[in-house]
Amino acid sequence: MHRKLAAFAILLTLTLFAQDPSPWVAAAPGFRPIGVTTNGDTFWTFGSNEGIASSADGKSWQRRHSATTNGALLLGLEFLSPKFGFAYGTGGVVLFTTDAGQTWTSQTFGTDTILAGSFSDSNHGIFRTASSIFYVADSQIHPVALPSTVPKDFQYAPAVAALSPDHMTVALSEGWRSRTGFLSTVDGGKTWIFYEPPHITPYDLVASGGQYWFVGTETVGYDKTGNGGLGVPAVLSSSDGQQWQHTTANIHACHWEGCDACNATGCLVSASMLIRPFSSASTFNRIPPGHLTAAWAANSNTVCTVDGTLYCAALAPTSDLDKPGDPQPDERILPRLGPEKTSGPLRCISCSLDPIFVDHSVGGRFTVHVAFVIGTDGVPESVSIDKAPSPAIEAKMRAAMLSWLFEPPVKDGAPIKVSSQGNVTINVVRPPK
């Protein structure tokens, strides 16, 4: 009898352990979420059909805005102050709030999709489309003419930031994690000055606490004979985009994996650690394993992320001495400035796919057939993959394609679903033994 009870107790323990719920809790804001941000301790998510919702705890969400018909796909949302915020997306749509997100008003700035934007008020700001960079002064749109001091191969504009109607900055680079400089104005767009920090490669540009901040790497010891220098983490701030000061906060944790995927909340040291370096003293939090992507935000106690679905989980305190063991999630890379490439009714906003996959079971060059259905909101509804070289690669490709974004397809002014298919060539390598 005692043996039976003991066996039952072991079985019950194993069953409870197996059913231990994930620390990540899925949320249903009522639309397809694309990203998440915070205003103070309140979370805000945004996405299809101009959907905007907020939550105080990451569990219960309240819809704050949505379009009645043919709404834009929102690609970004930010609060510059507790009361003022903005969201932007397809069709040149920008939504503004002056009452902490309780109500939103819509304006359009041209008709092209706004891939990145920052506004100091509803009449002033800076944004980029697929082809160009624009600033807004007194509600009028003006193209930003690149001065001759900008290197000609700086054809990417990964981020923009506005601190006030007079102070605006755009990051310009020659590619992903490559040479980067800042084109800034302090007179509302009348004049623009380009500055490239020497021996520093900025990764992310954000506005926080009334300052520009960038996070990247700096080469030190480059002037020593026979030494090409050593790359170390760098976090700098500026009030004008020209004069930058190194932070005095502790960024030791960035030495492990580098700090990446930054927003006004902070940066990811890895998929398991968050650092908040945009003040006089850094703080650190442990992120539970699971759903974290580069579309994330956090308040003092909780982290939320968009991984196809909106998920939130509790944060745990940690120290900078705890080595993070996971790489950062991949970020969405904005296309280079230039003419848009279109294919029928589909206009891609973000459709990147890794050209090289790592797999333990197979290696070589493969042609994979893919097919997908894009919904009326511009988000993939389904993805089919045929002739993938392994189940693991098929799963990775499907996950990547489900995160693709398109301008909501229309025909004769009405929203439609679009099916598309084709072949994709990928390279697969085996990891070293």
DSSP string, 165-216: SS-EEEEEESSTTS-EEEEEESSTTS--EEE--TTEEEEEEEEETTEEEEEE
pLDDT of residue 48: 93
pLDDT in tens, 281-318: 899 999 999 899 999 999 999 999 998 899 999 999 88
The closest of 364, 353, 345 to 412, measured between CA atoms, is: 345
Cα–Cα distance for residue pair 339/333, rounded to 1 Å: 17
pLDDT of residue 11: 40
Could you tell me the CA-to-CA distances from 12 to 16, 21, 416 in Å, in that order? 6, 16, 51
Digitized pLDDT (tens) for each residue of the chain, 433 residues in all: 444 444 434 343 333 334 446 899 999 999 999 999 999 999 999 999 999 999 999 999 999 999 988 889 999 999 999 999 999 999 999 999 999 999 999 999 999 999 999 999 999 999 999 999 999 999 999 999 999 999 999 999 999 999 999 999 999 999 888 899 999 999 999 999 999 999 899 999 999 999 999 999 998 876 665 566 688 999 999 999 999 999 999 998 888 778 989 999 899 998 899 999 998 889 999 999 989 999 999 999 999 999 889 999 999 988 766 666 677 888 878 888 988 666 567 888 888 787 788 888 899 999 999 999 999 888 899 999 998 999 999 988 988 888 889 888 888 878 899 998 999 999 999 887 6
Q: Do 141 and 129 contact (CB within 8 A), yes or no? A: no
End-to-end CA distance of the chain: 51
Short-list 182, 179, 178, 188, CA closest to 160: 182
- The one-letter amino acid code at 133 reads I
8 A C-beta contact, residue 234 and residue 252: no
The token duo for 155 is: 């054809």
In this structure, the number of other CB atoms found within 10 A of the CB of residue 177 comes to 14
Q: Report which residue type is found at 206.
A: V
The tens digit of pLDDT for each residue in 171-219 reads 999 988 889 999 999 999 999 999 999 989 999 999 999 999 999 999 8
Q: Which of 124, 69, 68, 115 is nearest to 92 (CA)?
A: 115
Q: Which domains does the chain have, with CATH numbers?
A: 25-317 (2.130.10.30), 348-429 (3.30.2420)
Residues 6+ apart with CB under 8 A from 369: 385, 386, 387, 421, 422, 423, 424
pLDDT at res. 16: 37
pTM for the predicted model, two decimal places:
0.88
Which pLDDT belongs to residue 236?
Answer: 96
